[in-house]
Chains A and B, each alone.
Chain A
Amino acid sequence: MSFYDEYTRYSEVDIDAVLESTTSDQVLKIIGKDRLTAMDFLALLSPAAEKHLEIMAQRAHQLTMQNFGRVIFLFTPIYLSDYCTNKCVYCGFNVTNTFTRKKLTLSEVEREAQSIAASGLKHILLLTGDAPTIAGVAYIKECAQILQKYFTAIAIEVYAMDTEEYASLIDSGVESMTMFQETYNPLLYDRLHLAGPKKDYRYRLDAPERACQAGIRSVNLGALLGLDQWRRDGFFVGLHTDYLQNKYSDVEVSLSLPRIRPTMGQCETGLTVNDKSMVQFMTAFRLFMPRAGITLSTRENAEFRNHAIQLGVTKMSAGVNTAVGGHIESQENSGQFEISDNRSVAQMCEAILKLGYQPVFKDWQII
């Protein structure tokens, strides 16, 4: 049994028909429930629920207060290598993009770490492209060991690995993993991922579960909103998160809400996800999974991120540079994607405090 079986089961549901036929009354009843089913969650993603966004937002706010309090956890990514063997049409690291690729040496990792740590942050997210022969498990382990000197918690956002590889990284101090399935629609997935190991939909889909089996402490999932209809991918990524929470109850699960941004590559999906839809998705998810974390990155602009703090978001990146080595020197390429919120860690803290929340740098330490 893997999430694929769950996905297959729900794929048989006529999702579009459910979304279209959901009524305003049904939505109101669901908002008042203590525990939501998967089909309730789907109903909250329907066009009919758009009329009730304010009530959904208030309920989401209340649940977030109750479960997390008035705090926002902060972290920042460190890009170790942008070598990549995949051809993903929406990504700046696409193998066919011509720019000078870079992999940090271990001494550069140390300097980047020092530069980031000076901001006070304690949680770091380590990223690489998908090029195991250049930036593989052994390299990531070495980097994790350096990062441990400066940070109390290390997360990874790297290519899909097997269980033993995850276990080996956990032994080196990695406590969390992020994996975006990008889209749960296998046909579209196949069209967007033209070549490379990432083309294997099923291997990627099961990667978070393999990390759970390897003993990871927390898993963060995401669908890149704007590839497929957001209501469909939003539904499936929510189901995936719920599946992992139910099956691996000792793992802390969370969800990222990445919305597609301009990159060095080209991607014409023709779909846009507006702010209203983002709010509908994040509040519906909060009602569905009150205990799960919600992460919002600097893909979103400062104004939207400030509002989102009150809508269920619990974790944010700050002081972000998506270029490899970008913290120690200016890079010619603009990184994996363009960011929209350039605030420093200190500026983010100031904004969070002003909204009546506490910025939290440390929420775990290697024990």
Chain B
Amino acid sequence: MDDNLVIGGKSLSSRLFIGTGKYSTDAMIPEIVKRSGSQVITVALRRVDFNSATGNVMDHIPTSMQLLPNTSGARNAEEAIRIARLAKAAGCGNWIKIEVISDNKYLLPDGYETIKATEVLAAEGFVVLPYISPDLMVAKKLVQVGAAAVMPLGAPIGTNRGLKTKELLKILIEEISVPIIVDAGIGKPSDACEAMEMGAAACLLNTAIASANHPGLMAEAFGLAVVAGRKAYLAGLGGTHQYASPSSPLTGFLNE
């Protein structure tokens, strides 16, 4: 059965998106890509030095990967739009992860500015994947203005705390017509697995792999977890019960 995820006309067999930040060396990236099985990788344009004589992070990204440049560092829609256009002009393709953060304390995204940037960039033909707090109305407006997917956070970025926003994520998965990709906060493979079991279309994570003692092994673990969670979702989870039910102590008399 073909269970590919289609975004922006691209069909993806892997539902794990990965990042490029926080590694002790960019040379580690090919191993992370290979062991995770991921096909989409996000990269902060602010870090890429296209004029470097000694190379840059892009040299380590396998050409088969779908690049997802992000607008890290943008404080408002205008800056995000400018960064997206620079990324496209630099040859990074037309996918863009909108990340507008005007809160440097918790790194929580600015929904209003994100909607504005998404509207402009989607109209310009970008495949826009906006990063948001899991807010239903923001997500709905993003769909209206052309977002190709919506990427709500599971917990504040970089915290590895897991699906702290689980109840809100469930609502988004239920109500939003485009793919929901859980982005940020996923700390353990079991978190990613749980997000996929809930029906998330994919997971995006970086810190949990980059900060592991053995990033390659952790990348593999996340790859497996996402596959397991997806299969469980497709299989349909059995309902859960609060009490064991070996017999019918209250209604058994009806059958006597």
Contacts and interface: CB of A to CB of B under 8 A. Distances in A.
A152 interface: yes
Contact of A253 (B82, B83, B104, B107): B104
Interface string A345-364: 00000000100111011111
Interface centre among A249, A252, A353 (most CB of B within 10 A): A249
B182 to A, nearest CB: 19
Interface in B58-86: 73, 75, 79, 82-83, 86
B53 A120 contact: yes
Given A249-B102, A291-B104, A360-B47, A367 B23 contact: no
A291 B105 CA distance: 6
Interface in A45-79: 65-71
Interface in B12-32: 21-26
B159 interface: yes
Contacts of A363: 46-47
Contacts of A65: 22, 211
A77 to B, nearest CB: 20
A331 interface: no
Interface in A234-289: 245-246, 249-253
User: Chain B CB within 10 Å — which of A122, A246, A363, A365 has the most?
Assistant: A365
B210 interface: yes
Given A66-B211, A69-B207, A360-B47, A367 B79 contact: yes
A70 B207 CA distance: 11
Contacts of B105: 245-246, 249, 291
Nearest to B108: A249
Nearest to A153: B46
A120 B104 CA distance: 28
18 contacts: A69-B22, A70-B24, A70-B210, A71-B21, A217-B75, A246-B105, A249-B102, A249-B103, A249-B104, A250-B101, A250-B102, A251-B104, A252-B104, A291-B107, A357-B24, A358-B23, A358-B26, A360-B47
Given A249-B105, A250-B75, 9 more contacts: A66-B211, A67-B158, A69-B22, A69-B207, A249-B103, A250-B101, A358-B24, A361-B49, A367-B82
